Amino acid sequence: MGPIRNSTPKSSGRVGAGVISNGIHNYERTKARRRAYRKKMQGEFDEPLRRFLSEKKRMPSFAELMEIWNYRTKSAVHYRIQELADRGVIRKDGTGRIVPLRLEKGTRLLGVVEAGFPSAAEEELLDVMNFDEFLTPNKESSYILKVKGDSMKDAGIQPGDMVIVERKNNYKPGQIVIAMIDGEYTMKYLRKRGEQHYLEPANSRYKPIFPKESFKIEAAVTAVVRKY
Amino acid sequence: MGPIRNSTPKSSGRVGAGVISNGIHNYERTKARRRAYRKKMQGEFDEPLRRFLSEKKRMPSFAELMEIWNYRTKSAVHYRIQELADRGVIRKDGTGRIVPLRLEKGTRLLGVVEAGFPSAAEEELLDVMNFDEFLTPNKESSYILKVKGDSMKDAGIQPGDMVIVERKNNYKPGQIVIAMIDGEYTMKYLRKRGEQHYLEPANSRYKPIFPKESFKIEAAVTAVVRKY
DNA sequence: TTGACTGTAGAACGTTCGTTCTATAGACTG
DNA sequence: CAGTCTATAGAACGAACGTTCTACAGTCAA
């Protein structure tokens, strides 16, 4: 049958000698059908791969791809793999093994609220993103804290939120920082008046804190995460 | 030399016949040194694996592990792999290939601000988390929107924040939802008075919205993310 | 209708894979 | 000091791997 596969396995493959194929066609209609079919198929090559990757946390071997894609030979897989590599979905490393490129699934980016929700056809075009990389590019120096108290309320940080903080070498005024001041940890805006640094809450019910003895900034807040 | 390796490769391996090893030892001191060394080593087996995985997006083969761990034989790798599997760091699938279990690096969870920052020794004990799984468990039905306007300010959602929304079948009062009301998309609290649903902003400068004609809830907000 | 192109089947090949067995140096135990 | 345990080296092995070549049916374009 050629390119249209994934139908019943037995009907695929070459036609035996002596079988006369029907030569009558409506070519235009056939052509259109095939285009649509192939577009659909493309997704049906990628999708099982995605599933395998997220389940097994590794790429399948050619033998496994034979089963996944319903092929009877590895050479057919080889052909398909070449096509996926050309499309940039996967890549081959030095030893021939395949590595994923655009297979990890992310969450779809929709833009501003007014944009409206996409139809199934538009889905493909949406940008995707991975939160782990986005929120903690420097995993080594990042920590997660749970917020207690409402002193940063007007900055949109509520009790129960999680903040991602990062240890750095120097901290700039205007940043929200975690500081050890007079023996206690606290999260506030870092401000500077003249040469003196001080801490300012984002809540009119609290007053700025001017350090008396010890004053050490431990980390800067790089992100806020809240889950309902 | 035995278990203490990763020194210069040439000095490892068996001592040639005729070489008489020095029998004089302070056993207690040696023992303590070895324990500390081995603990340090443990990390030096896991770390290169982590790096390989995050760079190449796949687990290394035994031959590659030989280079990574500075072994001269695959049987030594086999031995180490067994130990990693016992510790639950990796797992072997049916065909002998190794799959990661506790290798993906997460961000360390510290708890409330008051907890203080951990020393290098305490690092190991911290819980880690992966934001991608945490924020979007259902990737298929989740979308990301960028917030415009300050109508949800008092709910800690500011302009420029990203909200993760999820399409559902039914929405409960009290949730923050994305709704199409009278032809426009908006993000508000979903409220219910008697039998009538309406939308309420979290900003005293705005008033509740009672739907006139069309009213359709598109999605519910499941999380808020802000990055500085 | 012809010729080129596409997609799969099938077989053979050399390479790489993880496993296993033996040997041994050094550390540890009593 | 002798015996045991741990961690590595080294070699051999069968299974699985990805590659390549040939053949051919079906599609497509001229």
In a domain? residue B4:
no
Identify whether the C-beta of residue A174 lies closer than 8 Å to the C-beta of residue A190. Answer: yes
Identify whether the C-beta of residue B198 lies closer than 8 Å to the C-beta of residue B211. Answer: yes
In this structure, the answer to whether residues B75 and B140 fall within a common structural domain is no
Whether nucleic acid strand C comes within 7 Å of the CB of B2, the answer is yes
Whether nucleic acid strand C comes within 7 Å of the CB of B21, the answer is yes
In this structure, the answer to whether residues A90 and A140 fall within a common structural domain is no
Q: What is the pLDDT of residue A166?
A: 92
Which residue among B116, B130, B143 places its CB closest to the CB of A185?
Answer: B116
In a domain? residue B146:
yes
**B57 contacts on A by Cβ (under 8 Å):** 99-100
Which residue among B57, B105, B134 places its CB closest to the CB of A99?
Answer: B57
First to last CA, chain A: 52
Cα separations in angstroms, A1 against A7, A72, A180, B144: 10, 14, 73, 43
**A113 contacts on B by Cβ (under 8 Å):** 145-148, 178, 185-187
In this structure, the answer to whether residues B93 and B164 fall within a common structural domain is no
Would you place residue A200 in the very low, low, confident or very high pLDDT band (cuts 50, 70, 90)?
Answer: very high
Would you place residue A113 in the very low, low, confident or very high pLDDT band (cuts 50, 70, 90)?
Answer: low
Q: Give CA–CA dist B40/B127, Å, rounded.
A: 20
In this structure, the answer to whether residues B60 and B142 fall within a common structural domain is no
Q: Give CA–CA dist B46/B102, Å, rounded.
A: 10
CA angle A121, A127, A131 (to 5 degrees): 130
In chain A, the percentage of residues whose pLDDT exceeds 90 is 32
In a domain? residue B111:
no
Q: Which residue has the higher pLDDT, A127 or B206?
A: B206
Interface test with A, best of B55, B58, B125, B151 (most A CBs within 10 A): B58
Q: What is the pLDDT of residue B115?
A: 55
The closest of A147, A152, A146 to A200, measured between CA atoms, is: A152
In this structure, the answer to whether residues B17 and B75 fall within a common structural domain is yes
Lowest mean pLDDT among A14-23, A105-114, B71-80: A14-23
Q: Is A48 on the interface with B (CB under 8 A)?
A: no
The closest of A216, A177, A165, A142 to B123, measured between CA atoms, is: A142
Q: Which amino acid is at A48?
A: P
The closest of A40, A52, A151 to B113, measured between CA atoms, is: A151
From the CB of residue B43, how many other CB atoms can be counted at a distance below 10 Å?
Answer: 11
Range of the structural domain that residue A148 is part of: 134-225
In a domain? residue A128:
no
In a domain? residue B184:
yes
In this structure, the answer to whether residues A80 and A152 fall within a common structural domain is no
Angstroms from A33 CA to nearest CA on chain B = 28
Q: What is the pLDDT of residue B226?
A: 96
Which residue among A111, A153, A219 places its CB closest to the CB of B146?
Answer: A111
User: How many structural domains are present in chain A?
Assistant: 2
The answer for B 111-150 residues in CB contact with A (under 8 A) is 111-117, 129-132, 134-136, 139, 142-148
pLDDT at A30 over 60: no
In this structure, the answer to whether residues A165 and A215 fall within a common structural domain is yes
The closest of A187, A179, A202 to B158, measured between CA atoms, is: A202
Inspect the interface and report whether the beta carbons of A223 and B219 lie closer than 8 Å. Answer: no
Q: What residue of B is the nearest CA neighbor of A102?
A: B57
Distance, CA of A61 to C1' of C21, in Å: 29
Inspect the interface and report whether the beta carbons of B135 and A227 lie closer than 8 Å. Answer: yes
Which residue, chain included where needed, has tokens 């801490």? Answer: A199
**A130 contacts on B by Cβ (under 8 Å):** 132
pLDDT single digits (tens) A138-154: 888 888 988 888 889 99
pLDDT single digits (tens) A171-191: 999 999 998 877 778 899 999
Q: What is the pLDDT of residue A28?
A: 37
Identify whether the C-beta of residue A225 lies closer than 8 Å to the C-beta of residue B131. Answer: yes
pLDDT single digits (tens) A57-75: 889 999 999 999 999 999 9
In a domain? residue A194:
yes
Contacts of B93 (CB under 8 A, 6+ apart): A56, B99
In this structure, the answer to whether residues A144 and A82 fall within a common structural domain is no
Q: Which amino acid is at A194?
A: G
Interface test with B, best of A51, A103, A225 (most B CBs within 10 A): A225
In a domain? residue A142:
yes
DSSP letter, residue B209: B
Cα separations in angstroms, B113 against A50, B118, B128: 39, 12, 16
In this structure, the answer to whether residues B96 and B15 fall within a common structural domain is yes
Contacts of A211 (CB under 8 A, 6+ apart): A181, A182, A197, A198, A199
The closest of B128, B106, B10 to B50, measured between CA atoms, is: B106
Torsion of CA A13, A19, A25, A29, to 10 degrees: -20
In this structure, the answer to whether residues A194 and A145 fall within a common structural domain is yes
The closest of A217, A216, A199 to A207, measured between CA atoms, is: A199
Total H helices, total E strands in chain B: 4, 10
pLDDT at B24 over 50: no
pLDDT at B29 over 60: no
Q: Which amino acid is at B104?
A: E
Is A151 in the active site?
A: yes
Q: Is B152 on the interface with A (CB under 8 A)?
A: no
| Dihedrals phi, psi of A150, to nearest 5 degrees | -115, 25
B170-190 mean pLDDT: 87
Q: What is the pLDDT of residue A20?
A: 24
Lowest mean pLDDT among A73-77, A218-222, B35-39, B80-84: B35-39
Which CATH number does the domain housing residue B220 bear?
A: 2.10.109.10
Would you place residue A127 in the very low, low, confident or very high pLDDT band (cuts 50, 70, 90)?
Answer: confident
First to last CA, chain B: 51
Inspect the interface and report whether the beta carbons of A112 and B148 lie closer than 8 Å. Answer: yes
In a domain? residue B110:
no
Is A12 in the active site?
A: no
Q: Which residue has the higher pLDDT, A130 or B154?
A: B154
In this structure, the answer to whether residues A87 and A159 fall within a common structural domain is no
In this structure, the answer to whether residues B96 and B18 fall within a common structural domain is yes
Mean pLDDT for all residues in chain B:
76
